[in-house]
Structure 1
């Protein structure tokens, strides 16, 4: 009865942990009505390094008393040209102008603004722009949605006209330039949009002059602002490539000091351009449009330094780091993929010659020094991504040669991590390096997530605030490494306990990992948590040995579906503004707009599959596993037979990484990051299993340790250690005592820590003895018999 109830209890445990992680969400503190008027002031290209107390005194004073942040100006096109930025501001969604972009740059022509009556204005191109965004682009944006949500709006300047135009092109009130006294104009409507100019020159002196002119216009706006008004100043777009982070400042009732943030970023001090429209409507107390904005209302967080110079230094530094990250990340993953492919080629001949064969014609074994060097290189390759993540703790991006500084720091960390694994107790055991590397990787990513994911933000193996996809929690690469590390750790620990306890160990370790990945306070990745739940369920189902039967697959599927359905029900019960990605998708399916989400996900998957270097890592790792390691001479099948918990952990990693990448819109990126850790460790463990597959040693009478016990004098040492007895001429060895003679009555045990027959078998018939670890029993020897190395029961 207990054995029958075990799958049910473990399934319930996984479900409970998963829903606990996903259901609890922090209070987002959505702002209520705080102003009677909102004035949106835009300056295309304005960055924090343009702001100082002498050149821009008005903006400096406004930042001192208001809330500040870094603005990501992502739109439907990259780079975000000024016209795209203004259009995205008015749509509250990723939008783009439908003009041609030669060479990936910005359109040369300006926007046509007609003034037929001297009061308002008309944009004749606006209906075509609306059709282009809704029919051709994946985001389904509605340009003019912000203006449609208020009774009256004012626009000053051509850029502001693009943001304030209604979907049919009408601007309620328009002035081509800011009047000397704009008080009457700004007080005529509850919403005003003002274009104070562009800061786009590469010459520092000219750029400073442009910022000074924008600051002078801002001073006139602030002097004429209506009572109880909220003024938002934003650098609404890029002006060149690559993309940068820009200025955003909020000043008004309830916006006194602090950092700006929003639920769309989940990170203090970061805001998206699409957040400005819902922020304006929330401050005015107006309802959101029928087609929801992609952005969320902004709020303040009170942990900003008192000194403004210190506070401004943080977003300016983040801008430099994000710009350097884009340059370095591409070549890092390219070099990593090339290095792992070269290691795969180097491992192939070692796999073919690792297994000793009896007879005079067997190939000579590879030098132990060569094998040791390759093992260290495999460990270093597996630690490359965790080391690169840890390297972001150093300010490498501040130097003139940021790439070289990053390479130097990462190389030092790889060397240090490899040395730590090499000198870890138990390194000579078959699973010693695998457990140590998995533990290090899980520790690095887990500690970063628990401390706010500071290393992943704008990190080389993290995510960039410039891309606009994620600002907090676990990124794509971090998710892949954490999935692989956590499941391998769980498999390594499960292999060291009795067979009946293995599912509980895997579920415990995997359940904690699900909480870390899915909790909105930590990893904030609901899709990753659901995928990891499926992987943990599969691993727990087969960790005791045997195949993935229909009943086991059914329990694993039920656990994954239960977590998904439970979270969906909890998420749908929340208000629309507080729902997560799964709840928004299900709500979109209900109102008929779910096709846009599916289209965006499929487009993202295809683009990532074609352009990402991690795709090469995933495909190269899969090729090495399928064409080499899983072949009869590859050693992985023997490893799986002797260590079923490791087989379960690797199978669960494949399931979780595949689901997490496809459902999250990152194609094979999660699998590539996981493979960068798993494949080198699988190759190393397979080499060791093959190297010791023909060893015959005499253990110390009783039962061995979890991965192999110590033998008597002249017998086997710890698992994976070379026996200290006599040589093995012709690939054979005589199992015996100190003199190497006849075998005394006792039990045989292979040096890889298992009996000569692999699999979860019982004791040999006719000779009861103590149960063997790893679920493997050794066969009793015949006294006085010489056991050649070729006498071996194949792994099942």
Structure 2
């Protein structure tokens, strides 16, 4: 209930502030020149003077060339351009790839029956394959079908300009000397300017120079009132990179390119080029065919092109380095947490010493007490773990839980610009990890049972929240964030960030709720959770409606059982009602926005309305299956195994922790609920659960060690208790009234990180000779 007004206020205020940019004036002609493999590091005044001058007067961006497969080879890029959707060129079963060759040279048969146009006999098979075998619903040739006439120059351009039945309206294998008449024939022209595919610098410069010379001829022959788009529309090998996109024409002067599909200035997707071409000519887009959104120009680019070009070039280097480093970072983290899980198990089994009343050698305890004392002394006892070893394991658990926030903050340092980016990233991350762990360890609250858990959760939640509030710069192309190369997200809260934020927010809410009276705990959890839902779900902050719904479900469950007890039907009903209300609010607000600005929730509901929801479900399922090979899956599995087979055992301590601190039990139940919902609805497999486990499981193990370490503490009886006279009265005397319990029976006095239980010494029992406690 607290989340609904906050979400409404945030979204309405943000919508009032985010006025869309004014559309560019329409043009009569659009020319798209494709240069597969062209990157911003290839562009310079010396090597590509024509493209440099074009970029200086036009608008620029980094182009993500994601198609229906990885990597995007040149023919895949061309057919994706013509479809306006993720597609593949697959006219026949693919041949076995050559060793080390990710993009083999595939011949394309182009027939010229009349000498004017052309015909691609393989086009029907390409359409059939994309419609029947792939989940994206791409229609190759949809862009050509949206205009009356198209011109194609070169084989790749013919693939993009072919209609679904294979016809190319006007085709030339090479650009003629007098190209003005050809470019004036049709409103849409595709030009294959050649690929920049070499790996040797000199050969690469030669290929870029040749493409630039062809581009100079195109610009010299361009019709008046035309828009020219140059795009490096594919990779050429398995080193996936960001590529060049430049738009030059009326209304596209000196700015950044962006689109609603990316939501970030300076970034476009390959699937955005088809709707951009039609929108620039003032034509309506075909419904439910294009996956991208029209590009638009936004101001803010540096006046000098030298300074402007460094930003997309730097983004390309960062994205390339992130792809290499992220895999081994999460792999190392999974290995470390697995080793800690193995080390924690014997500590858990030996942490709790046998519990027994304090005994005395006084003769008044009788024969039975002496016999029990002797039998316990003869029983083998587990060896106590040395305190320095326990302290070391606790510090390592704190460090492993802070690894992802430290890696996220490390992206504030431009480590990718060095010759050895992996070494610098490792050094920066370890330094930040050491600083964060020392801050937690040296804080006085560290000695309390929940102290480390609360501090680590607060650090993680604050790091993610600060990044989102400042534009999510650390997550974009960050090792612990998301990559622009995958084409999944360019702004807001990513999969890893969502998992860490959910865990941090709910653990902080549980720790704060544990400090207040029982009746106030649901309000504390709801208030903290509402702030998290607001940040995650706002389209101008976290921009993750699915994540907000998952967090809402977790907050509802946590608030319902934060006072203790089980999840009864009434509690579940209230929690479900709250989740449905917030979900409905997000759904209504998302559906009320234009199609181009909708989040995943709005797009999915729209797909259900027009009958294409099956493909959306198929894409989400394929995405979840594809995410299972991530190291985050290993983190999720390791965390689940440690919790189920160790922490939840009678000797594991987690049940005792939950009994003493019911608000922490509620928080962890909410975390598990949110992780499952976020992974299923978001199509992210176990990525969210892995990020949750990386933070939650080490801190749960540390807190369990703390409560087990003091599980057998007993209040010592007086050294010389008063003599009790054994008198058998006719009627038993009433026992002394017990003290009135506190408002919260689970509130304990914490001292030295443990829990001291108050014990009341009752009169001596003459039957068994022991003192009742």
Question: Does the pair score TM above 0.5?
Answer: yes
For residues 257 and 311 of structure 2, the distance between their equivalents in structure 1, rounded to whole angstroms, comes to 13
Contact 1:630 1:636 in 2 (8 A): yes
Question: Unaligned regions of 5+ residues in structure 1, if any?
Answer: 1-11, 698-733, 744-763
Q: Are residue 781 (structure 1) and residue 760 (structure 2) matched?
A: yes
- Which residue in 2 is equivalent to 1:462? 481
For residues 296 and 96 of structure 1, the distance between their equivalents in structure 2, rounded to whole angstroms, comes to 20
Q: Are residue 113 (structure 1) and residue 99 (structure 2) matched?
A: no
Contact 2:24 2:250 in 1 (8 A): no
Contact 1:67 1:300 in 2 (8 A): yes
Contact 1:382 1:680 in 2 (8 A): yes
| Counterpart mapping for 1:562-601 below 5 A | 562-601=581-620
Q: Are residue 15 (structure 1) and residue 4 (structure 2) matched?
A: yes
Residue from 430, 438, 451 that aligns with 2:457: 438
Compared with structure 1, are the counterparts of its residues 791 and 439 closer, same or farther at alpha carbon in structure 2 (3 Å cutoff)? farther
For residues 136 and 791 of structure 1, the distance between their equivalents in structure 2, rounded to whole angstroms, comes to 77
Output one character per residue of 1:557-614: Cα deviation in whole Å (capped at 9) or x when no partner.
11112222222233233333333222221221222211111111111111212x1111
- Which residue in 2 is equivalent to 1:66? 58
For residues 252 and 25 of structure 2, the distance between their equivalents in structure 1, rounded to whole angstroms, comes to 12
Offset at 1:263?
Answer: 0.8
Output one character per residue of 1:696-728: Cα deviation in whole Å (capped at 9) or x when no partner.
35xxxxxxxxxxxxxxxxxxxxxxxxxxxxxxx
Contact 1:31 1:283 in 2 (8 A): no
Contact 1:278 1:295 in 2 (8 A): yes
Residue from 270, 273, 277 that aligns with 2:274: 277
- Which residue in 2 is equivalent to 1:547? 566
SS of residue in 2 equivalent to 1:247: strand
Offset at 1:682?
Answer: 0.3
| Counterpart mapping for 1:132-211 below 5 A | 132-211=129-208
For residues 136 and 124 of structure 1, the distance between their equivalents in structure 2, rounded to whole angstroms, comes to 19
Offset at 1:30?
Answer: 7.2
SS of residue in 1 equivalent to 2:35: strand
For residues 769 and 163 of structure 1, the distance between their equivalents in structure 2, rounded to whole angstroms, comes to 78
SS of residue in 2 equivalent to 1:96: coil
Residue from 667, 678, 689 that aligns with 1:660: 678
Contact 1:156 1:195 in 2 (8 A): yes
SS of residue in 2 equivalent to 1:617: helix
- Which residue in 2 is equivalent to 1:453? 472
SS of residue in 1 equivalent to 2:2: helix
| Counterpart mapping for 1:237-256 below 5 A | 237-256=234-253
- Which residue in 2 is equivalent to 1:492? 511
Compared with structure 1, are the counterparts of its residues 276 and 30 closer, same or farther at alpha carbon in structure 2 (3 Å cutoff)? farther
- Which residue in 2 is equivalent to 1:84? 76
For residues 481 and 713 of structure 2, the distance between their equivalents in structure 1, rounded to whole angstroms, comes to 45
Contact 2:24 2:251 in 1 (8 A): no
Residue from 408, 422, 426 that aligns with 2:427: 408
Q: Are residue 423 (structure 1) and residue 415 (structure 2) matched?
A: no
SS of residue in 1 equivalent to 2:297: strand
Residue from 630, 650, 653 that aligns with 1:635: 653
Residue from 366, 385, 389 that aligns with 2:385: 366
Contact 2:261 2:597 in 1 (8 A): no
Offset at 1:311?
Answer: 1.0
Contact 1:495 1:774 in 2 (8 A): no
Contact 2:763 2:771 in 1 (8 A): no
- Which residue in 1 is equivalent to 2:622? 603
SS of residue in 1 equivalent to 2:444: coil
Offset at 1:769?
Answer: 5.8
For residues 772 and 268 of structure 1, the distance between their equivalents in structure 2, rounded to whole angstroms, comes to 53
When the two structures are superposed, what TM-score results if normalisation uses the length of structure 1? 0.87
For residues 3 and 521 of structure 2, the distance between their equivalents in structure 1, rounded to whole angstroms, comes to 15
Q: Are residue 314 (structure 1) and residue 311 (structure 2) matched?
A: yes
| Counterpart mapping for 1:374-773 below 5 A | 374-609=393-628, 611-697=629-715, 734=716, 766-768=738-740, 771=743
Output one character per residue of 1:131-165: Cα deviation in whole Å (capped at 9) or x when no partner.
00010111110001011111111111111111111
Bigger mean CA deviation after superposition, 542-551 or 102-111? 102-111
For residues 765 and 600 of structure 1, the distance between their equivalents in structure 2, rounded to whole angstroms, comes to 67
Compared with structure 1, are the counterparts of its residues 209 and 585 closer, same or farther at alpha carbon in structure 2 (3 Å cutoff)? same
SS of residue in 2 equivalent to 1:70: strand
Contact 1:66 1:256 in 2 (8 A): yes
SS of residue in 1 equivalent to 2:428: helix
For residues 68 and 11 of structure 2, the distance between their equivalents in structure 1, rounded to whole angstroms, comes to 30
SS of residue in 2 equivalent to 1:69: strand
For residues 297 and 741 of structure 1, the distance between their equivalents in structure 2, rounded to whole angstroms, comes to 87
Contact 2:675 2:689 in 1 (8 A): yes
For residues 735 and 256 of structure 1, the distance between their equivalents in structure 2, rounded to whole angstroms, comes to 86
User: RMSD of aligned C-alpha atoms?
Assistant: 2.2
Offset at 1:379?
Answer: 0.4
Bigger mean CA deviation after superposition, 100-109 or 774-783? 774-783
- Which residue in 1 is equivalent to 2:727? none
Bigger mean CA deviation after superposition, 282-291 or 424-433? 282-291
For residues 250 and 145 of structure 2, the distance between their equivalents in structure 1, rounded to whole angstroms, comes to 25
For residues 457 and 784 of structure 1, the distance between their equivalents in structure 2, rounded to whole angstroms, comes to 69
**What is the number of equivalent residue pairs in this alignment?**
720
For residues 785 and 663 of structure 1, the distance between their equivalents in structure 2, rounded to whole angstroms, comes to 62
- Which residue in 2 is equivalent to 1:36? 28
- Which residue in 2 is equivalent to 1:102? 96
Question: Unaligned regions of 5+ residues in structure 2, if any?
Answer: 357-375, 723-735, 750-756
Offset at 1:110?
Answer: 1.7
For residues 62 and 735 of structure 1, the distance between their equivalents in structure 2, rounded to whole angstroms, comes to 89
For residues 279 and 785 of structure 1, the distance between their equivalents in structure 2, rounded to whole angstroms, comes to 90
For residues 490 and 791 of structure 1, the distance between their equivalents in structure 2, rounded to whole angstroms, comes to 42
Offset at 1:531?
Answer: 0.5
For residues 254 and 176 of structure 1, the distance between their equivalents in structure 2, rounded to whole angstroms, comes to 32
Offset at 1:534?
Answer: 0.4
Contact 1:537 1:559 in 2 (8 A): yes
Contact 2:636 2:689 in 1 (8 A): yes
Output one character per residue of 1:225-275: Cα deviation in whole Å (capped at 9) or x when no partner.
111111111001111121111000011111111111111111111100000
For residues 178 and 460 of structure 1, the distance between their equivalents in structure 2, rounded to whole angstroms, comes to 44
Contact 2:350 2:384 in 1 (8 A): yes
